[in-house]
């Protein structure tokens, strides 16, 4: 009798652990799927936005430039927030803030257009920084598999948003560019729902992101500056093409 009890507990524990693992994978994939559509959906509509609001080409470029500035400002802060409040809570909050930013961007006023863009950029910056750390913490033996899984979700969602935003604006009841951009808030809310169980299952001890362990002399590192230059140039190319290629093709 005494020997069967632990076996029963173990057999009951394994299915629940498997379910929690699957829910976590789903939450990670949905989070990754929200890290680019709010940006890539703008590019095919940039001409309509410029015509409707009366802004110049230079100002229109800020619609993709503001999120990058938010990345630069908030990326160092995201690990501090994770250590203070827990990674799961911060990621859930970032999804809710992302939904708010997307809806605010589509409110109709030019000021709201740029304020919402800055807010959604801040939310995406948090996800960009914390998601790799979460994968390393939760899947230490499957980091490569999980990284490829969420980056695939990120890339596919970015492509779908870029390809679908223009047809949605003109063929889905003529909702216009505001309605087309606002629809992506639904994806953020769905992902937020998937993250609620992770708040309950979070381990209070897992609050460290371990992002700066053993790193010294970063500002004087030649390799660090080389990597920064490389990443900066490839990001410049990516976002320049992302912003203007759809407009050029049209």
Is residue 37 in a domain? Answer: yes
Is residue 162 in a domain? Answer: yes
Is residue 54 in a domain? Answer: yes
Is residue 133 in a domain? Answer: yes
Whole-angstrom distance, CA of residue 83 vs CA of residue 238: 31
Long-range contacts of 225-233 (CB under 8 A, 24+ apart): none
Is residue 161 in a domain? Answer: yes
* Angle, CA 49 vertex, CA 47 and CA 52 arms, to 5°: 105
pLDDT in tens, 166-225: 999 988 767 899 999 999 999 999 999 999 998 876 665 555 545 445 556 778 889 989
Is residue 234 in a domain? Answer: no
The CATH number assigned to the domain holding 105 equals 1.20.1250.20
Q: What's residue 57's pLDDT?
A: 82
Whole-angstrom distance, CA of residue 149 vs CA of residue 20: 18
pLDDT in tens, 117-132: 999 999 999 999 999 9
Which whole-number Å values give the CA distances from 113 to 157, 158, 197, 222, 239, in the listed order? 22, 20, 32, 39, 19
Which among 128, 70, 124, 138 has a CA at the least distance from the CA of 95? 124
- State how far Cα 245 lies from the chain centre: 22
Q: Which domain holds residue 191?
A: 4-207
Is residue 28 in a domain? Answer: yes
Please, what's the largest Cα pairwise distance for the chain?
A: 79
Is residue 231 in a domain? Answer: no
Two structure tokens written together for 11: 């057999």
Quick check: 137 and 102 in contact, CB under 8 A?
Answer: no
pLDDT in tens, 70-116: 988 888 899 999 999 999 999 999 999 999 999 999 987 899 999 99
What Rg do the C-alpha atoms of the chain give, in angstroms? Answer: 20
What is the reported pTM? 0.84
Two structure tokens written together for 183: 């629809």
Two structure tokens written together for 230: 């490389």
Contacts of 131 (CB under 8 A, 6+ apart): 28, 31, 32, 35, 91, 150
**Considering its fold, how many domains does the chain have in total?**
1
Q: What's residue 195's pLDDT?
A: 94
């Amino acid at each position: 009798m005494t020997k069967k009890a632990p076996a029963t507990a173990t057999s009951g524990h394994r299915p629940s652990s498997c379910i929690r693992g699957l829910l976590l994978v789903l939450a990670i994939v949905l989070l990754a799927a929200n890290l680019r559509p709010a940006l890539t959906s703008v590019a095919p509509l940039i001409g309509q936005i410029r015509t409707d609001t009366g802004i110049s080409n230079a100002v229109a470029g800020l619609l993709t430039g503001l999120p990058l500035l938010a990345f630069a400002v908030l990326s160092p802060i995201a690990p501090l927030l994770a250590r203070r409040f827990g990674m799961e809570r911060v990621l859930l909050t970032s999804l809710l803030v992302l939904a708010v930013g997307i809806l605010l961007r589509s409110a109709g006023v030019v000021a709201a257009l740029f304020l919402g863009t800055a807010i959604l950029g801040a939310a995406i910056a948090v996800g960009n920084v914390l998601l790799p750390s979460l994968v390393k913490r939760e899947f230490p033996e499957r980091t490569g598999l999980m990284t490829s899984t969420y980056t695939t979700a990120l890339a596919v969602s970015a492509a779908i948003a870029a390809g679908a935003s223009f047809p949605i604006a003109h063929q889905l009841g003529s909702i216009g560019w505001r309605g087309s951009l606002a629809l992506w808030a639904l994806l953020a809310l769905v992902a937020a729902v998937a993250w609620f169980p992770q708040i309950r299952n979070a381990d209070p001890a897992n609050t460290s992101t371990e992002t700066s362990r053993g790193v010294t002399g970063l500002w004087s590192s030649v390799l660090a500056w080389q990597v920064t230059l490389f990443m900066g140039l490839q990001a410049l190319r990516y976002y320049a093409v992302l912003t203007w290629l759809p407009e050029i093709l049209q």
